[in-house]
Amino acid sequence: MTGTDRGARRDAAARLARERRWADLWDLVRRRLPLVEADSVLPLFDERWRPDGPERPLFDLLAATPPGTVEEARATLTADPLLEIPVDGWIVTGSLSPDGRWLAVHLRSWNSAHGHELQVFDLDDGRQVARRAGGADSGVMLNRGASVFSMDWIPPNPFLGLVRNDAAGGTMLQPEEFSLIAGLAWLDRDRFAVLARHYPRLGRDPEPADCHLTYYTGEGERAERVVLEEDLVWGERGVDILPSHLAADPSSGLLAVDGRTLRIIRPPRHVLARSPEQENLRELCFLAPDRLAAAGDECLEIWRATGATLERVRGIGLRPRRKRHHPILVPQRHEIVFLDGIPGSGAGGLVRYVDAETLAGVTGPRELSDSIGVGLWSAADGSRHALAVESAVYVVRDPAAGAVATLAGRPPSALRPADLPTLDSVRPATEPVRHLLALLRAAARPGEVRRGQ
């Protein structure tokens, strides 16, 4: 948009107002003026004039928009997309809360006297809100901000278990002897699932007795536990493949588990779809209730449920990593982001974004493109994702912000109902952004204005 174009539109609007051609002026606003300019034109209208029909709510909302609101909102949306959270220690693991507001990290402190720590940050402003001593070198964690759930150790209990850490300290929730937690996942904001393996006989070659899923409320109260007996496959070397990864789809409440087969499960344990037997364990994330992304040692695959069968749709090669690939979905753009291996690198991985349908590399830069990190995490609602480096976390403020800023640069008549999912995926951080979203929704769906969203 050039200054000449903008000046010509202002001159045309002023001329129509002088001639009191209100319907033509409104047509100019709807068809030719980007939304970021429209609020400055509304004061030209006769205060008694209003359009008829489904466009009336948009007109009224624009008329009530304080000058500069849309420009301020767009500036917020186009600001630096990354929030840097420095931490004072080496990051072991971390997680975002289900709604993307809180970040929790588990650290090995630089000061060995302090051992392990949990640190919690408010992602609205990046400030640290909690710091607590931690125990084990846990690789699994969930958080709700006020409380953090992880595999940990609390003396004098000699076994690792599921622990809730909050302002009152650590509380062992699943102190089952000889259990090893393999994965945690939010079913929704108020429930989570735990995948664990139970080892009742310890010795030189410990062997598990069963694998199980345990369900908890968001407050850490156990609701139900079920056993996954079909995963105990005995071969010449003992147990061949055990579940090691768990994923959840909060939109449907379904779970995905790896092991000797990949499975989509309706809690507590009804298997909706299953893959053929496999030889490799895979990290999982849901792309839709019937579609999974699965990352193995040297491949990223898409699996789709057809009836009761999970079928491999396509795959691409990956460079192997000693650590996990951490595949996660960016739903605002329907992309998968993951860490690829780097030859000669230890813990670090290269961030790559691919299309979630074709697995083709995305065109154009993304927030974390070509960065190197040790872990990728996402909020259960898909609102944010984050990259951990050795001593900091970079949080993507809002993956849909740029797309919404682009929509604000279009005339209202160019908005369509197909734009609504993009608008619904934005986290409105300020009142101007909330007001802009209301304007965009009114333009995309004439006659239906949802204020304050």
- What DSSP string describes 360-389? PBPSS--TTTT-EESEEEE-TTSS-EEEE-
Among 263, 297, 317, the domain boundary falls at: 317
Model confidence, pTM = 0.83
Residue 56 C-alpha from the chain's centroid: 36
Residue 5 burial by Cβ neighbours in a 10 Å radius (0-12, 13-18, 19+): exposed
Co-location of 435 and 310 in the same domain: no
Give the separation between CA 130 and CA 128, rounded to whole angstroms.
Answer: 6
State the average pLDDT for the chain: 87
Q: How many domains does the chain have?
A: 2
In this prediction, residue 389 carries a pLDDT of 93
Flag whether 376 is in a domain: no
Residues making up the chain, counted from first to last: 453
Contact 60, 368 (CB under 8 A): no
Instruction: Please give the C-alpha separations between residue 280 and each of 119, 177, 337, in angstroms, as whole numbers.
Output: 34, 28, 21
Co-location of 425 and 306 in the same domain: no
Flag whether 311 is in a domain: yes
Co-location of 313 and 436 in the same domain: no
Give the separation between CA 281 and CA 262, rounded to whole angstroms.
Answer: 9
Flag whether 398 is in a domain: no
Widest distance between CA atoms in the chain:
93
Contact 299, 317 (CB under 8 A): yes
Written as one string, the DSSP assignment of 49-115 is ----GGGHHHHHHHHTSPTTHHHHHHHHHTS-SEEEEE-SEEEEEEEE-TTS-EEEEEEEESSGGG-
Give the separation between CA 176 and CA 162, rounded to whole angstroms.
Answer: 9
Flag whether 414 is in a domain: no
Flag whether 62 is in a domain: yes
Flag whether 297 is in a domain: yes
Give the separation between CA 149 and CA 134, rounded to whole angstroms.
Answer: 11
CATH number, position 294: 2.130.10.10
Cβ neighbours of 284 (radius 10 Å) = 24
Flag whether 336 is in a domain: no
In this prediction, residue 89 carries a pLDDT of 86
In this prediction, residue 450 carries a pLDDT of 41
Give the separation between CA 453 and CA 447, rounded to whole angstroms.
Answer: 16
In this prediction, residue 396 carries a pLDDT of 93
In this prediction, residue 451 carries a pLDDT of 40
Co-location of 184 and 297 in the same domain: yes
In sign, the C-alpha dihedral spanning 344, 345, 351, 354 is positive
Written as one string, the DSSP assignment of 228-251 is -GGG--EETTEE------EEEETT
At 173, give phi and psi (nearest 5°).
-100, -30
Q: Tell me, what amino acid is at 429?
A: A
In this prediction, residue 151 carries a pLDDT of 82
Contact 295, 327 (CB under 8 A): yes
Give the separation between CA 139 and CA 411, rounded to whole angstroms.
Answer: 49
**Torsion angle, alpha carbons of 89, 90, 93, 99, to 10:** 40
Co-location of 303 and 427 in the same domain: no
Co-location of 196 and 303 in the same domain: yes
Give the separation between CA 151 and CA 174, rounded to whole angstroms.
Answer: 9
Note down the domain range covering 287.
Answer: 176-317
Flag whether 198 is in a domain: yes
Helix (H, G, I), strand (E, B), or coil: what is residue 267? coil
Co-location of 181 and 306 in the same domain: yes
Write out the two tokens for 189. Answer: 């904001």
Give the separation between CA 165 and CA 62, rounded to whole angstroms.
Answer: 47
Tens digits of per-residue pLDDT, 297-339?
789 999 999 999 999 999 999 998 878 899 999 998 899 999 9
Residues of the chain with pLDDT under 50: 1, 449-453
In this prediction, residue 4 carries a pLDDT of 62
Among 300, 317, 334, the domain boundary falls at: 317
Among 356, 326, 329, 330, smallest CA distance to 340 is for 326
Among 317, 340, 363, the domain boundary falls at: 317
Give the separation between CA 197 and CA 376, rounded to whole angstroms.
Answer: 25
- The DSSP letter of residue 18 is H
Residue 109 burial by Cβ neighbours in a 10 Å radius (0-12, 13-18, 19+): middle
